[in-house]
Amino acid sequence: MLNRVRSAVAHLVSSGGAPPPRPKSPDLPNAPSAQTAAPPEAPRSPPARAGSSAPAKTVEARASFSRPTFLQLSPGGLRRADDHAGRAVQSPPDTGRRLPWSTGYAEVINAGKSRHNEDQACCEVVYVEGRKSVSGVPREPSQGQGLCFYYWGLFDGHAGGGAAEMASRLLHRHIREQLKDLVEILQDPSPPPLCLPSTPGAPGSSDASHLVGPQSCCSSQKEVTHESLVVGAIENAFQFMDEQMARERRGHQVEGGCCALVVVYLLGKVYVANAGDSRAIIVRNGEIIPMSREFTPETERQRLQLLGFLKPELLGGEFTHLEFPRRIQPKELGQRMLYRDQNMTGWAYKKIELEDLRFPLVCGEGKKARVMATIGVTRGLGDHNLKVCSSTLPIKPFLSCFPEVRVYDLTQYEHCPDDVLVLGTDGLWDVTSDCEVAATVDRVLSAYEPNDASRYTALAQALVLGARGIPRDRGWRLPNNKLGSGDDISVFVIPLGGPGSYS
Amino acid sequence: MLNRVRSAVAHLVSSGGAPPPRPKSPDLPNAPSAQTAAPPEAPRSPPARAGSSAPAKTVEARASFSRPTFLQLSPGGLRRADDHAGRAVQSPPDTGRRLPWSTGYAEVINAGKSRHNEDQACCEVVYVEGRKSVSGVPREPSQGQGLCFYYWGLFDGHAGGGAAEMASRLLHRHIREQLKDLVEILQDPSPPPLCLPSTPGAPGSSDASHLVGPQSCCSSQKEVTHESLVVGAIENAFQFMDEQMARERRGHQVEGGCCALVVVYLLGKVYVANAGDSRAIIVRNGEIIPMSREFTPETERQRLQLLGFLKPELLGGEFTHLEFPRRIQPKELGQRMLYRDQNMTGWAYKKIELEDLRFPLVCGEGKKARVMATIGVTRGLGDHNLKVCSSTLPIKPFLSCFPEVRVYDLTQYEHCPDDVLVLGTDGLWDVTSDCEVAATVDRVLSAYEPNDASRYTALAQALVLGARGIPRDRGWRLPNNKLGSGDDISVFVIPLGGPGSYS
């Protein structure tokens, strides 16, 4: 993902400031894989947010390079996983405990673009114990059953691996913390209470007698679903994770940022939350169902431009919020150039004025699109230190930590063992189309017995291999001789055909 | 559309200010239909915008009530069109000149909710003469052919009919003005030049030699299509129309605002531009293709909340940008309430603080959803005077005049005479589903010969009648005994099966 953050056009941006600290990848000696569990969390309330608290203690200073614990890598295995020349595909060992649901996983390091693999992954079963008496009514001994959720996360780091590693160790704990208030509510089939008492024993206030008069447009109460509470919990967990990174970035190795693609399975539904340019699709009976969309300078152009327009101070006098189809030359002043502003999807001509010579906030196309000439993804976690090169202008205000969450109801369809949810970092999707993934799903799974639990790992490996290619003609090449992905590649294959039997 | 603007909850909004001027419907004696053409336009450059100029002279002060000129209403006909008791359906006369493409049109006045029919409509063939030497190269005598576009517009007024009437008379002229620069470019199959000289004869600068170095993320030039130029022209025309209303609202009867739904047919493509809650669908071989989406406080919640969050001064200390599922009571302070902020699609609980007791910026559901407890549509033209009731707080900053433009390529499909584009104000869609419209299309058109040009008017009438219903049981009722629409209802039916032969 390193190529998604670049500052090569610094000389094009007028600025007189001294070179600021620039995000860089950690370049540290190898260390054993982090197989120890993260420290137990202690609640910690950030200011001005109720019903939520930071779930995890500060992450310990980690200068070490690590891979997901479920890979169970020995020191020798870790060295092989870190070898850019061999680019060996890594998967959990075929012996011992499988991942939940017999999930398949495979990864491979990049071809040399960054020192270490900056992708990280996490797969956990998380138990959520409810807070006592959320509803204000003392619980019966028989009550108080907690909730379990299944969790998968892919984190594609950039400008260092610290943010991705921190997110892989802590984001599910933030989700658990957000769900703690909801344990009773989600298990109660009646609609969620709109209002909860502040203290146990205080009367609830979800009855309609408190409503304002019927003449108000707010006279009715909105229906809020259980599902939307889970979505809100995941959204807020992303924000708390990002805030924790901001707090702890100085004392620890939380350099750079990361895209986050997360799946939560809870009470029959699959929640796919995406912030960045990783992607998820369901392949069901050969049909492709997109479960995410990418957040890039191109897909979020209008949001970015609007922010620059409403808060011009964020542009630092160096950038213009207008988009132009190419950089304007000073000698073109007074001529008329095509442009788009934040309200437009079409293009029109405008007379070039002095401030149009500033660098455009959003520029480039496809994989080369950038915000402030620097970063190629517009959502994710971290990046609190990211500045425009040769400037002290922060880029973080333009980045959003909020995911888009899509919900898939597993109970609405009878899934077979060949139906899978595939998660991949952009290393997969840059060179593999949805249809090619679906074809690989069909080809690999049909070669295994439906009840062979290793088939999903084999599929993940096939997808990673298919995106990496083989070394030939001074590069990693695909069978069609095109270049394979030189990026880190990570893939989860989550079978949908039998959560009940796997869980 | 009057019910889309209401201030009934004013007492819920804390404000110490004197009652401001409040938008009201004009309540004037009937006057003859405005059948005289609008005055010829004179270019007029608003500040800081190049390549564009206001196309139309100021609209004359018009205190009169008018209907679309193509209805050719006599004074008696105008009185009948203005009769809330009879609610006679109006269509262009079956004699004389038909609307372009044999377009069908029908309308009916509301059941008494406003004094006059606040919908307006326009249907025109517009010739665009190119400006001289846009490309800088002197034109050959054989060059300089202008362009024709076909134009249909529906304007659903609120809080007065002035904005809708002004838009119906002038918006197509703004579009023509925006297209003037593009006449040569759109007829040239080569890609549009990115940059035009400021003066005739100056060298063009669309060649690649002016590009910045390859190290820049802006080193490539974006491809801009002819289609996106037309989209940009329409978008900017909406903005210029809105700016003209702002300039002229004091001297003239440009009260209130209006939704605008506009269709432009140009060079084989249909452009459907929508700002508001009117809607357009194509019914093609029985299949329904949505050609617009509605802009309401619900569909634009996140845009509105983001603006309130970034510019809290626009909330005047009276509103909170947070959304709650119902109004909060002061005694609930300190309890925890469900909320959504601008980044969330899900809900979560937050502790109620003092500022949460402010009125929510967005509240209500469905047709009762409101911005600032006042207006139920979030895009359109006008509304420059609209204030929160019992307050001087302007609502206009939250409203957008920009349409969403969808493009439909007429040449990609061989259309039959039964394929139509149906435009309707919300009076139609409030009580009629897409499927019901498609069924009416099938039922009515199959009763006429394919070459009978009156079939589209018959279809428009059937759609309006079906939404209005018949007077029964103290109301206008549909066959299923549900209430029909008491709103103004206006419908265009545009046949897609033979533009070539009609044009």
pLDDT at B436 over 80: yes
Percent of chain B with pLDDT over 90: 70
Q: Distance from A447 to chain B by nearest Cα, in Å?
A: 41
In this structure, are B283 and B328 located in the same domain? no
- The verdict on residue B35 lying in a domain is no
Label residues B12-45 b or e (16+ Cβ within 10 Å = b).
Answer: bbebeeeebeebebbeeeeeebbeeebeebeeee
CA nearest A152: which of A44, A48, A33, A274? A274
Q: Do B6 and A217 touch (CB under 8 A)?
A: yes
- The verdict on residue B26 lying in a domain is no
Comparing A221-225, A323-327, B131-135, B244-248, the range with the smallest average pLDDT is B131-135
Tens-of-pLDDT digits for all 503 residues of chain A? 445 554 333 333 333 333 333 333 332 223 333 333 333 333 333 333 433 444 444 444 344 579 999 999 999 999 999 999 999 999 999 877 889 999 999 999 999 999 999 999 999 999 999 876 555 555 554 455 899 999 999 999 999 899 999 999 999 999 999 999 999 999 999 999 999 987 544 433 333 222 233 345 556 788 899 999 999 999 999 999 999 999 988 766 677 999 999 999 999 999 999 999 999 999 999 999 999 999 999 999 999 999 999 999 999 999 999 999 988 999 999 999 999 999 999 999 999 999 999 999 999 988 899 999 999 999 999 999 999 988 899 999 999 999 999 999 999 999 999 999 999 999 999 999 999 999 999 999 999 999 999 999 999 999 999 999 999 988 899 999 899 999 999 999 999 987 544 43
Give mean pLDDT, residues B335-352.
96
**DSSP letters of A424-449?**
E-HHHHTT--HHHHHHHHHHHHTTS-
pLDDT at B464 over 70: yes
In this structure, are B122 and B257 located in the same domain? yes
In this structure, are A167 and A95 located in the same domain? yes
In this structure, are A78 and A164 located in the same domain? yes
pLDDT at B441 over 90: yes
> What is the chain A residue with the closest CA to B179?
A348
Residue pair B230/B182 in contact by the 8 Å Cβ criterion = yes
> What is the chain B residue with the closest CA to A323?
B222
pLDDT at B27 over 50: no
- The verdict on residue A63 lying in a domain is no
pLDDT at B405 over 60: yes
Range of the domain at A231: 69-131+146-190+226-295+400-495
- What residues of chain A lie within 8 A of the CB of B192, using their CB? 338, 347
- The verdict on residue A206 lying in a domain is no
Instruction: Name every residue whose Cβ is closer than 8 Å to that of residue B347 and which is 6 or more positions away in sequence.
Output: A192, A224, A228, A229, A231, A232, B325, B338, B339, B340
- What residues of chain B lie within 8 A of the CB of A236, using their CB? 344, 348
Q: Do B215 and A9 touch (CB under 8 A)?
A: yes
Q: Distance from B337 to chain A by nearest Cα, in Å?
A: 4
Considering CB atoms only, which of A221, A239, A343 is closest to B235? A343
Residue pair B1/B487 in contact by the 8 Å Cβ criterion = yes
- What residues of chain B lie within 8 A of the CB of A229, using their CB? 346-348
- What residues of chain B lie within 8 A of the CB of A234, using their CB? 346
In this structure, are A314 and A184 located in the same domain? no
In this structure, are A169 and A318 located in the same domain? no
Considering CB atoms only, which of A178, A310, A335 is closest to B197? A335
B114 pLDDT band, cuts 50/70/90, is very high
Q: Distance from B50 to chain A by nearest Cα, in Å?
A: 5
Considering CB atoms only, which of B9, B51, B405 is closest to A216? B9
In this structure, are A338 and A446 located in the same domain? no
Considering CB atoms only, which of A337, A363, A368 is closest to B195? A337
- What residues of chain A lie within 8 A of the CB of B239, using their CB? 343
Q: Is A314 helix (H, G, I), strand (E, B) or coil?
A: helix
Q: Is A381 helix (H, G, I), strand (E, B) or coil?
A: strand
In this structure, are A175 and A290 located in the same domain? yes
Label residues A464-499 b or e (16+ Cβ within 10 Å = b).
Answer: bbbbbbeeeeeebbbeeeeebbbbbbbbbbbbbbbb
Which of B14, B326, B331 best probes binding to A when mutated, by most A CB atoms within 10 angstroms?
Answer: B326
Q: Do A229 and B363 touch (CB under 8 A)?
A: no
- pTM for the model: 0.84
Beta-bridged to residue A105, according to DSSP, are A492
In this structure, are B455 and B310 located in the same domain? no
Q: Do B336 and A49 touch (CB under 8 A)?
A: no
Residue B390 is predicted with a pLDDT of 84
pLDDT in tens, B292-305: 999 999 999 999 99
- The verdict on residue A480 lying in a domain is yes
Q: What is the DSSP letter of B193?
A: P
Residue B107 is predicted with a pLDDT of 98
Residue B96 is predicted with a pLDDT of 72
Residue A214 is predicted with a pLDDT of 32
- Between chain A and chain B, the number of residue pairs with CB atoms below 8 A apart is 251
Q: Do B340 and A232 touch (CB under 8 A)?
A: yes
In this structure, are A490 and A366 located in the same domain? no
Which of B182, B223, B338 best probes binding to A when mutated, by most A CB atoms within 10 angstroms?
Answer: B338
| Apex A96 CA angle, A95 and A97, nearest 5 | 130
What are the φ and ψ backbone dihedral angles of B94, each rounded to 5 degrees? -75, -10
**What's CA B415's distance to the chain center, in Å?**
26
pLDDT at B392 over 80: yes
Tell me the average pLDDT of chain B: 83
Number of domains within chain B: 2
Last-in-domain residue among B343, B376, B409:
B376
Please give the ipTM for the structure prediction.
0.83
- What residues of chain B lie within 8 A of the CB of A369, using their CB? 217
Which of A326, A365, A374, A402 best probes binding to B when mutated, by most B CB atoms within 10 angstroms?
Answer: A326
Assign residue B75 the CATH number of its domain: 3.60.40.10
Helices vs strands, H then E, count in chain A: 9, 20
B335 pLDDT band, cuts 50/70/90, is very high
In this structure, are B467 and B329 located in the same domain? no
- The verdict on residue A160 lying in a domain is yes
B144 pLDDT band, cuts 50/70/90, is low
Give mean pLDDT, residues B388-396.
92
- The verdict on residue A153 lying in a domain is yes
Residue B293 is predicted with a pLDDT of 97
Last-in-domain residue among A361, A376, A391:
A376
The rounded distance, in Å, linking the Cα atoms of B129 and B147 is 7
In this structure, are A487 and A412 located in the same domain? yes
Q: Which residue has the higher pLDDT, A327 or B502?
A: A327
Q: Do A336 and B405 touch (CB under 8 A)?
A: no
Output the furthest CA–CA distance in chain A (Å, rounded): 79
- The verdict on residue A125 lying in a domain is yes
Q: Do A326 and B218 touch (CB under 8 A)?
A: yes
Q: Distance from A37 to chain B by nearest Cα, in Å?
A: 29
